[in-house]
Homo-oligomer: A and B are copies of this chain.
Amino acid sequence: MSQLANSLKPPYYAVIFSSTLKENIKGYEEMGDLMIELAQKQEGFLGIESAMNEIGITVSYWQDLDSIKKWKVVSEHRIAQEKGYSEWYKTFIVRIAKVEREYEFGF
């Protein structure tokens, strides 16, 4: 997770997930790692970037809207989402955005 998702070719889609967490987040990190592992196996998955301090931002990149829709309903991911609602997240925003262009430096 210390890498950037470089070399992607627009247009493609980004899911920008921004969140604040509750005080007690038992099991959160393990589930996060598991979800990243699982997302990488989905069709249309292009990459993921994640950072966290006061807030968390995870951006996953996808080939098209259909891939995002399918990932949303993968059963293990649904379970993670439910735990997120009930146990981990104080607030979150999910944004679906079409990446129209990008510029890279240093690769």
Q: A residues near B, CB below 8 A?
A: 1-6, 10, 14, 16, 18-20, 49-57, 59, 85, 89-107
Contacts and interface: CB of A to CB of B under 8 A. Distances in A.
11 contacts: A4-B93, A20-B106, A51-B51, A51-B55, A59-B59, A89-B105, A89-B106, A91-B104, A93-B105, A96-B99, A97-B99
Residue in A51, A97, A102, A107 whose Cβ sees the most chain B Cβ within 10 Å: A97
Contacts of A85: 105
Chain A at the B interface: SS class: strand
In the complex, the 5 A-B pairs of residues with the closest C-beta atoms, listed nearest first: A91-B106, A97-B97, A2-B54, A51-B51, A95-B102
